[in-house]
Structure 1
Amino acid sequence: MKHHINIVIIALRVILFAAAVMCFINLIKTYEFFFTTDIDKLYSYFDNHFTPIDAVTLNNRKLLSASHITNLKWVAIGFTLCYTALLMYGMSGIVRFYKCLLKIEKNQIFYHEQGAQFRKVGATVIIFAKVKYVLFCFAGILSYFDISQFFKQIPMLLSLYLIGKLILIMSYMAERGEFIKEENDLTV
């Protein structure tokens, strides 16, 4: 059992490191976008996240994007800042889950507040999934009118949502375990 928990703990460490690197890169990109006047740099950034229509050339991208309504520079800055804040929020849930698993690894199977901690982790994962879906759909529409983001983000939304629900089920089991352990301690 400890071997499996150790694998999950290592995976959580890798995920935390990758998310921290992504936050750092996003903050650097935000700084670059703030001082850039090169619109092609913004479009190349959005090309990495969103899909323009195939027939679009560099000359008619302005017609496709919402840049005639908003300044694409501020959309890029807002997107990177919101995505960075969202990643940090997700990292807080991962850290909480990491701490719970460390206690379980030390044979503290049912401890006080374990159920509440799992519930907070599950809620964090579900909120992260929903906000990421909305953020990518909104930014995709503002950058390229990329309506396909509504469908492309669904697998990630559903997988994170189900993971969050499974963690909520674990919280219920942990709460029941805490209750049974307290009753057991009182009868002995």
Structure 2
Amino acid sequence: MYLQDIDKLEKARERVIDAIAQNMNLYGVTPSVGRLWGLMYFHDAPMTLDEMKLELGMSKTSMSTSVRSLMDLKMVDKVWKKGERKDLYQVEEDWYQTFIDFFTIKWRNGIALNVSAIEKSMVEINALIMDESVSEEVKVAAKSDIEKLTDALDYYYWLNRLVDSFESHEIFTFIPKK
């Protein structure tokens, strides 16, 4: 009976881990990294790369790369334990903070990329508008583009403030955790 209970527990956990891996894949994180995070989430103690390797059947190099990805997303931390010589890793168990860290990193990168492209394009388009040799037809189209890009910048400035509200936890004033 005991083994059947453990098997049921493992199947229930596996279902959640699979869902996590699929969900993270939607946001550009490989399923194997998602599976690793799920495995670590259900593990009650920090894990070494060797333990992760045994559990997932992946190479130590893959585990190291996956852990580094999770650390970059602030979803996993390296922890210290007295007497332990190997590096230990533990998941951030606060799902709210995990969401905030994951998405704000992605959003900040996206905002920076788009704002840079828009600002560079606006300089080039404004130069066209100021150039007397450019046809009136092109100038009209360029002015229309400037308006569109100004609206886009307004959006990205708003998105930046939204990200700020997540990082400061001000968002929870408007949308409480519970």
TM band (smaller chain): 0.3 to 0.5
Structure number with the bigger relative contact order (C-alpha 8 A, sep ≥ 6) is 1
TM-score, with length taken from structure 2: 0.39
Higher strand proportion: 2
Larger radius of gyration: 2
Higher helix proportion: 1
TM-score, with length taken from structure 1: 0.38
